[in-house]
Structure 1
Amino acid sequence: MPEPSRSKELPVSLLTDPVMIEACQARDFGRIFQLLKARAGIYPSMIARRCDLTPSRVGEVIAGRRQLLHMGVIERISDGLRIPGHMLGLARRSWETPPSLTVTPCEPAEVPASTVEPPAAGLPGADVDSILALAAERDLSASTLDALHSSIADYWRRDDEHGGETLRPAVVGQLRYVVDLLKEQRPALLRDGLHSIAAELARLTGWTYFDARQYNQARAYFTESLGLAKAIDDRQFMANVLACMSLQATYQDKPGDALALVTAAQDQARAAAGTTPRVLAMLAMREAFAHATLGNHGATHTAISEAHTQFGRISTGDPDPAWVAYFDEPKLIVDTGIAHGRLGEAALAEPLIADALRREHASNHRGRAFHAFWLARTQLQRGKLDEACHTAMDALAPAAAVSSQRVAGHLREFYEQLEPFRREPAAVVFESRLREVLPRQVSGLPRP
């Protein structure tokens, strides 16, 4: 979304009004939107346009029928309406610093590395591209492709365990290396293999940006991955990338986009030869997420049923692509629980998420933290305060072990839901443990 011009800044009298300050601290967007209309002449339709929200959603917020909790939406509101970040509990926004004083942007305006000239290394004649060019002179073989595929599998494992932030330079470097190999004439089989590897590396890079909530960068790499897969007509992988983009759209609170993207993914999968039931089950579950974010109960339940039906058709000999192997039975169960949770069906969600969490591998720190916070939220919705706080405390150790802004976002959402119970003993113990394990996260949470 383009940033508003300086002429659209809010009146200082409004930003310094105690009523506005209090509304921002509480993230009472219904009250904020009312104040904007009354004091700044910014009507709901203008709010919707500036913040990339639908007018109906803005109306529901003003009427008190909907809350806005997703960090991506709150950031869009801050940027679109020029509400300083600190007033909404955010970091200082890039537009708050005059260009002449800007040193480093919060999110570098970077495009996929394979499309730009890489910076030279510090030693003359020993830059990375020169080294990789020398390596590229040797003949490629099937074993070379196998080695590259193995390194991608290792990247994904490390991403689950530690997050992708520290992996990203290595992944981007390997992506650039593989794209450079594609510039030379190769036998068709090797060329297709390199395209497939480059597509997977671009998707992985996009995923690391998505997990860091740097959505523009993620979308750029996902788009590059889509183009690489399209070059070899790998429709199943195109479906996989579109499904990733659909999931990102749910996090950006853009459910209409999420549904359109997953529908396109399903179209690609159905057009592909040999699409396996596991792939179709994964796509059906992503469709369920999109419908759940839209609040469509019937469509969500239908998509969940389709996911389970397709999963039941999986056979041992199915030629599943390596990238869908993660979608096993525990993943199916936990995603089913999350879809119910997104609909507010906590009684259905809680046992499913709890069951999957018991089966989740201990080394998958991000998944364990992510799903534990989801479980805690459903337990809190069911009035099980003690259990919710205990579950959330169990999530703190894996959350501390992984660098993931998505996990941090789920921690924040649970913390905000805990607000009415802040003085209860279980909540006090949880907050004490939170400050001990994740002191940096605590500094960014709203004050009680």
Structure 2
Amino acid sequence: MPDADRPQELPARLLTDPEMIDACRVRDFARVFRLVKSMAGIYPSMIARRCDLTPSRVGEVIAGRRQLQHMDVIERISDGLRIPGHMLGLARRPWETPQALAVSEREAPQLSEPEQRPPASLPGPDVDSILALATRTKLSAATLEAFRSSIEDYWRRDDQHGGEALRPAIVGQLRHVAGLLKENRPPSIQNGLYGIAAELARLTGWTYFDARQYHQARAYFNEALQLAKEIDDRQFMANVLASMSLQATYQNKPADSLALVTAAQDQARSALGTTPRVLSMLSTREAFAHATLGNRDDTHRAIGEAHRYFEQIRSSDPDPSWVTYFDEPKLLVDTGIAHSQLGEAATAEPLIADALRREDRTNRRGRAFHSFWLARTQLYQGKLDQACHTATQALKPASAVASERVSGHLREFYGQLAPHRQEPVALAFEARLRELLPPVSGSPRP
């Protein structure tokens, strides 16, 4: 159904009104229609049109001269007025499932491994000849700085909007830099280009990871590792391995996650000048892996190490640009998430809540993630009202960013809300959810 033709949602205050709940429970449509008119501004003629009834029939119902008992009529009223099915004793209606909850994890068609077939980051022969023209120009340190600036901008926009729309531009720039690497240049320029290409490959992999296209993500992460290895940038190799560890956690492969983050820490410790901020970030990733495995003592140890490293950070540290995002609010929220993964909701809740109050509000994807984590910790503790309020606040940033990972966190919270689905606060959350993330006709239940 086109958006313009989709019936408008009833206000949450009406769906949670005790009189409306009771009228629906006993199927007193005279009261239902009167409440819909007074509280939602939907007049009898509009009720008739939306529910495929005649105006005279609606008028007779409101006057108490007719009752509506046929199941097909009750279903039309539910669908036309957007009254959740359970309120009228019906099965859940197809329109009640928002699109974000109906989308399943998706994998791109499987490609051969990078050693068998070059990943899409490498230009084809037709692109080579075009890029050859560009390589004849002299590159300078200013050119490298321009590349790095564009990468920082890509990351900022990725946080705000998601990476789907950015990916073609990122891959295009990666191809361009890969072409530049084919020319002989001074070591400082050549090494800088390798570093830029590695970061573009990791960023491309990250956009696929965020879309849950894991095979594609791994191919680009592997490419980033190879590029960083060319210049022996072990800190950056550690960064890529940490990204791969996080992906393994999402894929429910905790043993892989732990192996990858252990390799990341080995790379970082073998590098000259690895900063405390990098080591702190890696320790939180180790905590995630141990928490997913249920290793309580090891999780607590890794959390302690993350905080000890963070306390050693100095403003004069030569932190790589890719780790500057790891500030104190990020440390707190990651600590809270690790505790939450262990089932320690009471410990996790204040940490995540404090981080949310302090973190950058322009990072809409991060705020959506962290709000859903907070809502889950509240729900685990039986704080239904707080959990629904927190999750409702997360819906606006979640609806503004294209991220399958965000949708996944929303689906998890929504599933955990199932036992409380008929409570007024849960009804209000669902109404807001359908308003911001409209349902798809005929979509399956989550």
Q: Pairwise mapping of residues 279-428 of structure 1 onto structure 2 (< 5 A)?
A: 279-428=278-427
Is the aligned partner of 1:270 residue 2:264?
no
Letter in 1 for 2:428: V
Aligned to 2:244: 245
Is the aligned partner of 1:143 residue 2:142?
yes
1:79-102 deviations in Å (ceiling 9; x for gaps): xxxxxxxxxx976999xxxxxxxx
Q: Aligned-pair distance for 1:335?
A: 0.2
The DSSP-based 3-state class of the residue aligned with 2:362 is coil
Aligned to 2:437: 438
Of the structure 1 ranges 341-350 and 134-143, higher mean CA displacement relative to structure 2 is found in 134-143
Is the aligned partner of 1:115 residue 2:122?
yes
- Name the CA distance, whole Å, in 2 between partners of 1:269 and 1:403: 32
Is the aligned partner of 1:192 residue 2:191?
yes
- Name the CA distance, whole Å, in 1 between partners of 2:230 and 2:244: 19
Q: Aligned-pair distance for 1:117?
A: 1.5
The 8 Å contact of residues 108 and 216 in structure 2, kept in 1 or not, is answered as no
Q: 1:228 to 1:433 in 2, by over 3 A?
A: same
Instruction: Identify unmatched segments of 5+ residues in structure 1.
Output: 1-88, 95-104, 121-127
- Name the CA distance, whole Å, in 2 between partners of 1:337 and 1:184: 48
Q: 1:357 to 1:400 in 2, by over 3 A?
A: same
The 8 Å contact of residues 412 and 445 in structure 1, kept in 2 or not, is answered as no
- Name the CA distance, whole Å, in 2 between partners of 1:289 and 1:93: 21
The 8 Å contact of residues 210 and 218 in structure 1, kept in 2 or not, is answered as yes
The 8 Å contact of residues 356 and 371 in structure 2, kept in 1 or not, is answered as yes
1:299-333 deviations in Å (ceiling 9; x for gaps): 00000000000000001100000000000000000
Task: Please provide the CA RMSD for this pair.
Answer: 2.0
The 8 Å contact of residues 369 and 407 in structure 1, kept in 2 or not, is answered as yes
- Name the CA distance, whole Å, in 1 between partners of 2:248 and 2:441: 27
The 8 Å contact of residues 123 and 175 in structure 2, kept in 1 or not, is answered as no
Q: Aligned-pair distance for 1:134?
A: 2.5
The 8 Å contact of residues 408 and 441 in structure 1, kept in 2 or not, is answered as no
The 8 Å contact of residues 333 and 352 in structure 2, kept in 1 or not, is answered as yes
Q: 1:440 to 1:220 in 2, by over 3 A?
A: farther
Q: Aligned-pair distance for 1:418?
A: 0.1
The DSSP-based 3-state class of the residue aligned with 2:346 is helix
- Name the CA distance, whole Å, in 1 between partners of 2:382 and 2:388: 11
Letter in 1 for 2:407: A
Q: Aligned-pair distance for 1:112?
A: 2.5
Number of positions where the alignment pairs a residue of Structure 1 with one of Structure 2: 341
Instruction: Identify unmatched segments of 5+ residues in structure 2.
Output: 1-100, 113-117
TM-score under structure 1 length normalisation = 0.73
- Name the CA distance, whole Å, in 1 between partners of 2:430 and 2:104: 25
Question: Whose radius of gyration is greater, 1 or 2?
Answer: 2
The 8 Å contact of residues 108 and 213 in structure 2, kept in 1 or not, is answered as no
- Name the CA distance, whole Å, in 2 between partners of 1:443 and 1:325: 45
Q: 1:107 to 1:387 in 2, by over 3 A?
A: farther
The DSSP-based 3-state class of the residue aligned with 1:243 is helix
Letter in 2 for 1:117: G
Letter in 2 for 1:254: K
Aligned to 1:229: 228
Aligned to 1:161: 160
TM-score under structure 2 length normalisation = 0.73
The 8 Å contact of residues 163 and 366 in structure 1, kept in 2 or not, is answered as yes
- Name the CA distance, whole Å, in 2 between partners of 1:364 and 1:92: 24
1:41-61 deviations in Å (ceiling 9; x for gaps): xxxxxxxxxxxxxxxxxxxxx
Q: Aligned-pair distance for 1:265?
A: 0.3
Q: 1:144 to 1:443 in 2, by over 3 A?
A: farther
Aligned sequence identity (%): 70
The DSSP-based 3-state class of the residue aligned with 1:115 is coil
- Name the CA distance, whole Å, in 1 between partners of 2:443 and 2:407: 10
Aligned to 2:83: none
Q: 1:398 to 1:232 in 2, by over 3 A?
A: same
Q: 1:310 to 1:390 in 2, by over 3 A?
A: same
